[in-house]
Protein backbone atom coordinates (compact mmCIF):
# COMPACT_ATOMS: atom_id res chain seq x y z
CA UNK A 1 0.00 0.00 0.00
CA UNK A 2 1.74 3.10 -1.17
CA UNK A 3 5.49 2.88 -0.91
CA UNK A 4 5.42 1.37 2.59
CA UNK A 5 6.37 -2.30 2.80
CA UNK A 6 3.57 -4.00 4.70
CA UNK A 7 1.42 -0.89 4.41
CA UNK A 8 -1.66 -3.00 3.75
CA UNK A 9 -1.31 -4.21 7.34
CA UNK A 10 -0.23 -1.04 9.13
CA UNK A 11 -2.12 1.80 7.44
CA UNK A 12 -5.65 0.46 8.10
CA UNK A 13 -4.74 -0.27 11.72
CA UNK A 14 -3.47 3.29 12.16
CA UNK A 15 -6.78 4.61 10.77
CA UNK A 16 -8.76 2.35 13.11
CA UNK A 17 -6.72 3.47 16.12
CA UNK A 18 -7.31 7.11 15.18
CA UNK A 19 -11.06 6.53 14.75
CA UNK A 20 -12.10 4.61 17.85
CA UNK A 21 -11.40 4.59 21.56
CA UNK A 22 -10.43 0.95 21.91
CA UNK A 23 -8.59 -1.27 19.43
CA UNK A 24 -7.62 -4.88 19.97
CA UNK A 25 -5.89 -6.96 17.34
CA UNK A 26 -6.61 -10.63 16.98
CA UNK A 27 -3.91 -13.11 18.01
CA UNK A 28 -0.52 -12.38 16.43
CA UNK A 29 -0.51 -15.75 14.64
CA UNK A 30 -3.79 -14.84 12.84
CA UNK A 31 -2.99 -11.35 11.51
CA UNK A 32 -0.76 -9.58 9.02
CA UNK A 33 1.22 -12.14 7.00
CA UNK A 34 -0.56 -14.97 8.85
CA UNK A 35 -4.06 -13.66 8.10
CA UNK A 36 -6.66 -16.30 7.34
CA UNK A 37 -8.97 -15.86 4.36
CA UNK A 38 -12.53 -14.99 5.30
CA UNK A 39 -13.79 -18.06 3.45
CA UNK A 40 -15.64 -16.07 0.79
CA UNK A 41 -12.81 -15.20 -1.57
CA UNK A 42 -11.78 -16.93 -4.75
CA UNK A 43 -15.28 -16.95 -6.20
CA UNK A 44 -16.88 -18.71 -3.21
CA UNK A 45 -19.19 -15.82 -2.31
CA UNK A 46 -22.41 -17.52 -3.37
CA UNK A 47 -25.17 -18.99 -1.23
CA UNK A 48 -24.84 -22.25 -3.17
CA UNK A 49 -21.53 -22.76 -1.33
CA UNK A 50 -22.69 -21.56 2.08
CA UNK A 51 -21.60 -24.73 3.91
CA UNK A 52 -18.09 -24.41 2.49
CA UNK A 53 -18.02 -20.69 3.33
CA UNK A 54 -19.01 -21.41 6.95
CA UNK A 55 -16.17 -23.93 7.24
CA UNK A 56 -13.71 -21.57 5.55
CA UNK A 57 -14.53 -18.82 8.04
CA UNK A 58 -13.84 -20.99 11.10
CA UNK A 59 -10.22 -19.81 11.75
CA UNK A 60 -11.23 -16.15 11.57
CA UNK A 61 -14.31 -16.76 13.73
CA UNK A 62 -12.17 -18.49 16.38
CA UNK A 63 -9.81 -15.50 16.40
CA UNK A 64 -12.77 -13.13 16.71
CA UNK A 65 -14.24 -15.14 19.58
CA UNK A 66 -10.93 -14.92 21.43
CA UNK A 67 -10.84 -11.09 21.35
CA UNK A 68 -14.53 -10.90 22.18
CA UNK A 69 -13.99 -13.12 25.21
CA UNK A 70 -10.69 -11.52 26.28
CA UNK A 71 -11.44 -7.84 25.65
CA UNK A 72 -15.19 -7.46 25.09
CA UNK A 73 -14.71 -6.53 21.44
CA UNK A 74 -18.04 -5.58 19.86
CA UNK A 75 -17.15 -5.14 16.19
CA UNK A 76 -14.73 -6.47 13.61
CA UNK A 77 -13.48 -4.13 10.89
CA UNK A 78 -13.14 -5.50 7.37
CA UNK A 79 -11.17 -3.58 4.79
CA UNK A 80 -12.31 -5.86 1.95
CA UNK A 81 -15.84 -5.71 0.51
CA UNK A 82 -15.86 -9.48 -0.03
CA UNK A 83 -14.93 -10.04 3.63
CA UNK A 84 -17.74 -7.68 4.72
CA UNK A 85 -20.28 -9.60 2.60
CA UNK A 86 -18.93 -12.95 3.75
CA UNK A 87 -18.90 -12.13 7.46
CA UNK A 88 -22.34 -10.48 7.37
CA UNK A 89 -23.73 -13.83 6.24
CA UNK A 90 -21.46 -16.11 8.31
CA UNK A 91 -21.36 -14.38 11.73
CA UNK A 92 -24.81 -15.69 12.81
CA UNK A 93 -23.63 -19.28 12.17
CA UNK A 94 -21.03 -18.74 14.91
CA UNK A 95 -23.30 -16.99 17.42
CA UNK A 96 -22.43 -13.42 16.46
CA UNK A 97 -24.74 -10.70 15.16
CA UNK A 98 -24.71 -9.85 11.46
CA UNK A 99 -23.98 -6.18 12.14
CA UNK A 100 -20.82 -6.87 14.17
CA UNK A 101 -18.73 -6.55 11.01
CA UNK A 102 -18.24 -3.05 9.63
CA UNK A 103 -16.02 -1.61 6.94
CA UNK A 104 -13.15 0.72 7.66
CA UNK A 105 -15.11 3.42 5.81
CA UNK A 106 -18.12 2.92 8.13
CA UNK A 107 -15.91 3.18 11.19
CA UNK A 108 -14.37 6.45 10.03
CA UNK A 109 -17.75 7.86 9.02
CA UNK A 110 -19.27 6.95 12.38
CA UNK A 111 -16.34 8.58 14.18
CA UNK A 112 -16.73 11.96 12.46
CA UNK A 113 -18.11 14.72 14.63
CA UNK A 114 -19.12 17.86 12.80
CA UNK A 115 -19.36 21.08 14.77
CA UNK A 116 -22.51 22.84 13.55
CA UNK A 117 -21.21 26.21 14.69
CA UNK A 118 -18.27 26.33 12.25
CA UNK A 119 -19.86 25.57 8.87
CA UNK A 120 -18.01 27.06 5.91
CA UNK A 121 -21.30 27.20 4.01
CA UNK A 122 -22.63 29.91 6.35
CA UNK A 123 -19.72 32.29 5.75
CA UNK A 124 -20.58 33.19 2.14
The answer, as to whether pTM is greater than 0.85, is no
Over pLDDT 90: what percentage of the chain? 61
In a domain, 50, yes or no: yes
In a domain, 44, yes or no: yes
Q: What is the pLDDT of residue 80?
A: 86
Instruction: Please give the torsion angle defined by the CA atoms of residues 19, 86, 74 and 111, in that order, rounded to the nearest 10 degrees.
Output: 20
pLDDT > 80? residue 17 = yes
Domains of the chain: total: 1
Give the domain range for residue 82.
7-106
Predicted confidence (pLDDT) per residue in 56-105, tens digit: 999 999 999 999 999 999 999 998 889 999 999 999 999 999 999 999 99
pLDDT > 70? residue 5 = yes
In a domain, 83, yes or no: yes
In a domain, 15, yes or no: yes
Q: What is the pLDDT of residue 6?
A: 76
In a domain, 99, yes or no: yes
Residues 6 or more apart whose CB falls under 8 angstroms from that of 80 comprise 38
pLDDT > 80? residue 117 = no
In a domain, 17, yes or no: yes
Q: How confident is the model at residue 119 (pLDDT cuts 50, 70, 90)?
A: low
In a domain, 45, yes or no: yes
In a domain, 113, yes or no: no
Amino acid sequence: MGDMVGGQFFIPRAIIKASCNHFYDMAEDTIKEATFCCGGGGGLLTDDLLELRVKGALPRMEALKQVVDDYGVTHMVAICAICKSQFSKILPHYGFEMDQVITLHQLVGDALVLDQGTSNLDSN
